Amino acid sequence: MTKKDRPEGRRLAGLGFEMAGGVAGFALFGYWIGGYYGKAELGVVIGAVLGITGSTYNLIRAAILASKKSSAGERPPNEPEP
């Protein structure tokens, strides 16, 4: 099953995990960079803020796309009729 064949609800449910992973990944990266410069706490905060910003942008972008598909009456191939 390709990414485009997945039902819309399942794809949107995965965005929460993607957001959590992005925040955690950027926070760990910030901790690593901050530790290198002796400011681990600041690195974690900056990394977490960057992760939240990027993940929120991706979440909003996906929600707008899903809304446009929904209002146009399009349905992914494997989603049942209402």
Alpha carbons 36 and 65: distance in angstroms, whole number: 40
CA 5 to chain centroid: 19
Which tokens is 11 given? 């794809």
What pLDDT is recorded for position 2? Answer: 60
Residue 34, amino acid: G
The domain tally of the chain equals 1
Is the residue at 56 inside a domain?
yes
Is the residue at 18 inside a domain?
yes
Is the residue at 50 inside a domain?
yes
What pLDDT is recorded for position 79? Answer: 57
Is the residue at 80 inside a domain?
no
Residue-wise pLDDT tens digits, 8-66: 667 777 888 999 999 999 999 999 999 999 999 999 999 999 999 999 999 899 888 88
DSSP state of 70: H
In this model, does residue 68 exceed pLDDT 80?
yes
Which tokens is 3 given? 């990414």
Q: Residue 9: which H helix or E strand, with range?
A: helix 8-37
Range of the domain at 39: 9-69
